[in-house]
Amino acid sequence: MKVIISGGGTGGHIFPAVAIANELRRRHPDAEILFVGANGRMEMTRVPEAGYRIVGLDVTGLQRRLTPQNLMFPVRVFRSVRKAGRLLEEFQPDAVVGVGGYASAPVLLAATSRGIPSLIQEQNSYAGLVNKLLARRVDRICVAYEGMEKFFPADKLVLTGNPVRAEIASGSRAEALAFFGLDASRPVLLVVGGSLGARTLNEATAAALPRLQQGGIQLLWQTGKTYYPQAAPAAVPYAANGLHALEFIQRMDLAYAVADVVVSRAGALSVSELCLTGKPSILVPSPNVAEDHQTKNAMALVQRNAALLVTDSQAATRLYDEALALLHQPERRQQVASNALALARPAATITIVDELEKLITNQKID
């Protein structure tokens, strides 16, 4: 079996793609899997770290204002589609998977024009532009939320949930306490702003460090690479009391295992992980995303009492009032956690690969 997986740009696209690849490799150890990403984006490092080969395209997104980059956009798209076509001719895949992001468009355009079975996976409750544009060309559309027929042809939809790395829910609390050097008798707050970090969360967290120390709370604070140089010195005086600023948390399985409450952006992958791990959370949707889709992701949980919501504009004044209150309300935490766990779709990756195998089998029969 030979499969191309295309897309990326953020962890919310990359980690689901890797989860799909891992399931394919589990079923077919001799499968050849090739990733296609955008040069200069994080997939070009994260995918090889996961053990897969990746080829980069010189493709970028369309800016929302007039820039020299926009003038080159049609040229880059044309060149990328042509390069993608060459890759398909050389690799001869049985199917192509698109997970969203710049690089998925040229690969899927080239694949569908050649009749290669194609599947897209939409992580968010509000469909991304690339996936909406390609919906009528592809064979199958795997989605994480109900009601997605407002974006996609209903006959192509399969409700699967989001692919989440299987190990994310398997962490041991005892191992996590030792790994992070935390005290088992004190509550732990986990703050994550996505793979790239979040300014609002970081500023609110830095300001709240004295309150957290006074309240006896321990902190695992993933700052992201951009903000770490400012966050790390701010946290140093509090490290002895278990408040830690970390650039990136590789062992998220352990971070979730030890966390009593999670403060997070509302990216689709983060929301899916919170449900799968059954963690009570306070979601702070990013305002800097297309069509405010993170608020829509968050509301899918909030409406079911499976998470709390604090807007980005309220974070400076409300976020840590809510976090400290929740940390001291064990019964409320348990209720929110149970509701989140009920929304989890642990078989998402399996179902997506099932759909992919059906497309390949049907193509061979035809």
- Please report, in range form, the residues annotated as the binding site for UDP-N-acetyl-alpha-D-glucosamine: 10-12, 124, 165, 195, 249, 268-273, 294
Q: How many residues does the chain have?
A: 366
Tokens of residue 291, six digits: 């069509």
Label residue 248 exposed, middle or buried (CB < 10 Å: 0-12, 13-18, 19+): middle
Alpha-carbon distance of 84 to 250, in angstroms, equals 32
| Of 191, 260, 189, 248, nearest in space to 218 by CA | 189
CA angle at residue 219 from 218 to 222, to 5 degrees? 165
Annotated binding site: 10-12, 124, 165, 195, 249, 268-273, 294
Alpha-carbon distance of 205 to 210, in angstroms, equals 10
| Of 287, 252, 250, 251, nearest in space to 266 by CA | 287
Tokens of residue 151, six digits: 């974006």
In the chain, the amino acid numbered 349 is T
- Sheet strands side by side (includes 308-309): 243-246, 218-222, 188-192, 261-264, 281-283, 308-309
Q: Cα dist. 198→202, 203, 204, 267, 355 in Å? A: 6, 9, 10, 12, 35
Label residue 303 exposed, middle or buried (CB < 10 Å: 0-12, 13-18, 19+): exposed
DSSP string, 294-311: HHHHHHHHHTTTSSEE--
Task: Confirm if 208 and 320 have CB atoms less than 8 A apart.
Answer: yes
Task: Confirm if 341 and 323 have CB atoms less than 8 A apart.
Answer: no
Task: Write the DSSP symbol of residue 154.
Answer: G
